[in-house]
Chain A
Amino acid sequence: MMENDIEKLFKKALDKHELPYDKGAWESFEKKMNKSKSQSYKWWILGVAAALFSISTIYLFNKDNAQNTIQEKNNVDKENSVSNRKETVTTTKNHTNLKVNKINENLNTLENKKINKLTKDSGIAENSEIKSEKFESTSDQIVTSNLNSTEKDQDNLQPDLKTKNDNQNANITENIPTFNDKCKNETISIYNKNSFELILKTPSGREIGIEANSKSDINLKETGGYVLGYSQSNGTFKESTKFKVFGNPSLNLIMDDVISYKNGLPTINAEVNSSEENVIWKINQKTTSKNSRITEFNLFQKGSYTIAAVSKSEMGCETSEAKTIQVNEDYNLLAMSAFNPNSSDLRNSTFLPYALKERNVTFKMIVLDPDNLGIVFETTESTNPWTGIDRRDGKMVPAQKAYIWKVSLSNPEPGEKSEYKGTIVRVL
């Protein structure tokens, strides 16, 4: 047997291998889960207690001599760590304090780790994804001219000693923003009000640093779980906030270029291909009541219409696409302006707005004499058009005289007016 066959043999045997469910397994698991929850609750209480204790202790000890010493520590620290990274920077201050040295050592190890990590990552990072700005400049600006922007970011990685120390002891001075779940390609602004760097881990494991006291606009290009946190002094990552980024639905809008008169109505057909079942349709940014993938719009008035389809995923992420159509004339029931009672063409020999024959609508049409507004003709049936006879005297109206027609609809379409009017001329 070849060696690879062993792999295949075992993979085949065990790939779908499943053991029967053990009775009582869930109940026993449930017990363990409850226990582990109550334990973590206990730890949480202990943690809070420890934190409170630490704060009060630190407060009492540091009250008097903190300010100056810390400032000095910071200066020395920053210079020291920068000089470790870049030989172009020279250290100008000596380490006068043993304690400071000790802390330096720890921080430098941490810094170096971080820098390695970041340098590794920066190769992959897309620059356009992140826009950072500092909203509070630090007192020391030891930045050499040959540092590029990524490296500049790293210069500000140096955590503020005091806060970081407090963090290690108490875990409560951190000020980490929280985020709701987002959609892909959204941009979030992360305000890092801490004096240490925050790290945003993307679903693919990339790390984006948000330097101390700065704001970063980050475009969320990946879907999945993002974690925001920071590096602790022992080099481990402390998760603080999590949020998810969901993908946007796919959407492709197909729409008529010109209006058609289906059933006598001015119609635009539109259809979307979308990964989601429901679509929101908007006309000129107003949401319509339509929500199916294939739909049509009746555009009654002259003008420009922007029709947009919006697809929303279960998670609330949207994709939209819009197209604009120009309607060149007001809809007027497709009425002709002239008719000829002597024509052999039935469509020409009588008058009734064409749309009334096509549409399933109840209406009343009257034809008026413009001279005295007397009613020449009246109908409510699409099968009973005006033949040109004046009902007042039973005679054919004179040619080349414009008569007024008015139609009122009792059940107009949504968005349609109920009254139409125009003129009609009998020709010879």
Chain B
Amino acid sequence: MENKSHLKEIVEGCLRGERRSQEALFKEFYGKMMAVCLRYISDRDTAQEVLQEGFIKVFDKLEVFDFKGSFEGWIRRIIANTAIDAIRKNKRNPFLSDQDNDFKQEVVNEMEEKEKIELTEVKAEVAMDAISKLSPAYRTVFNLYVLEDYSHKEIAEMLGINEGTSKSNLAKAKMNLQRILNEKFKHIEK
């Protein structure tokens, strides 16, 4: 829950350049934003760096936040954007990417239609693990669309791909996630 007046105080302190307020803001959102970063970048050290960069942007841009929308949502979008920039920049970094064209359409992983397992709930750790197994292209679109609520149009603009690619990457990401979960729980059921 966002406590608006509490937050407002912290933000105002940050705007006055108070270190204590900056620290409070950082600690308040660290855990949530680290989770966001790790959805895009599974390497923890890199994620940590991206998070730090993101927070620097947050403090830089703080003065334009107007308390109209959700502050958490606002930070989250900055962090997500920073993560995407990092993926784009470190294209050749093996920790980050398994493809040359990160956000371009990938070859479909044929999915086995049989043996679908019905799940009603998964733990956050399982979900994170499954997402980390996706290629950056699928993972990014999935994160942006499903968890960050961006539209395909917005995603296409952000990633420099077309809307169709965004849609098909989402579909493939979901198919792959299904497959990953199937495999995981197949063992358990047996």
Stretch at the interface among B24-32, B91-99, B155-163: B24-32
Q: Indicate whether B119 reaches chain A with its CB closer than 8 angstroms.
A: yes
Residues of A within 8 A of B142 (CB): 10
- How far, in Å, is A298 (CB) from chain B's closest CB? 36
- How far, in Å, is B132 (CB) from chain A's closest CB? 12
- How far, in Å, is A172 (CB) from chain B's closest CB? 23
Q: Indicate whether B16 reaches chain A with its CB closer than 8 angstroms.
A: no
Q: Quick check: B55 and A9 within 8 Å, CB to CB?
A: no
Q: Quick check: B68 and A6 within 8 Å, CB to CB?
A: no
Bound: A36/B54 CA distance, A: 13
Q: Indicate whether A61 reaches chain B with its CB closer than 8 angstroms.
A: no
Q: Quick check: B56 and A14 within 8 Å, CB to CB?
A: no
Q: Quick check: A11 and B146 within 8 Å, CB to CB?
A: yes
Residues of B within 8 A of A9 (CB): 119-122, 127
Interface residues on B, range: 35 or more
Q: Indicate whether B144 reaches chain A with its CB closer than 8 angstroms.
A: no
Report A1-42 CB contacts with B as 1/0, cut-off 8 Å.
101011101111111011111100110111011001000000
B136-164 contacts to A (CB < 8 Å): 142, 146-147
Residue in B26, B66, B117 whose beta carbon sits within 8 Å of that of A203 in the complex: B66
Interface residues on A, range: 20 to 34
Residue in B52, B66, B68, B128 whose beta carbon sits within 8 Å of that of A29 in the complex: B52
Residues of B within 8 A of A29 (CB): 26, 52, 55
Q: Quick check: B177 and A36 within 8 Å, CB to CB?
A: no
Bound: A108/B26 CA distance, A: 45
Q: Indicate whether B18 reaches chain A with its CB closer than 8 angstroms.
A: no
Q: Quick check: B31 and A20 within 8 Å, CB to CB?
A: yes
B23-75 contacts to A (CB < 8 Å): 23, 26-27, 30-32, 34-35, 38-39, 48, 52, 55-56, 59, 63-66, 68
Q: Indicate whether B80 reaches chain A with its CB closer than 8 angstroms.
A: no
Residues of A within 8 A of B56 (CB): 32-33, 36
Q: Quick check: A15 and B147 within 8 Å, CB to CB?
A: yes
Residue in A11, A12, A242 whose beta carbon sits within 8 Å of that of B63 in the complex: A242
- How far, in Å, is B114 (CB) from chain A's closest CB? 13
Residue of B nearest to A203 (CB): B66
Q: Quick check: A26 and B23 within 8 Å, CB to CB?
A: yes
Residues of A within 8 A of B107 (CB): none
Residue in B30, B63, B146 whose beta carbon sits within 8 Å of that of A244 in the complex: B63
Measured CB to CB, the residues of B under 8 A from A are 19, 23, 26-27, 30-32, 34-35, 38-39, 48, 52, 55-56, 59, 63-66, 68, 116-124, 126-128, 130-131, 142, 146-147, 171, 174-175, 177-178
- With contacts A32-B52, A33-B55, A203-B66 known, what are 20 further pairs, Cβ within 8 A? A1-B118, A1-B178, A3-B174, A3-B175, A10-B146, A14-B39, A14-B124, A14-B128, A17-B32, A19-B31, A19-B35, A19-B38, A22-B34, A25-B30, A28-B52, A29-B52, A29-B55, A36-B56, A225-B63, A242-B64
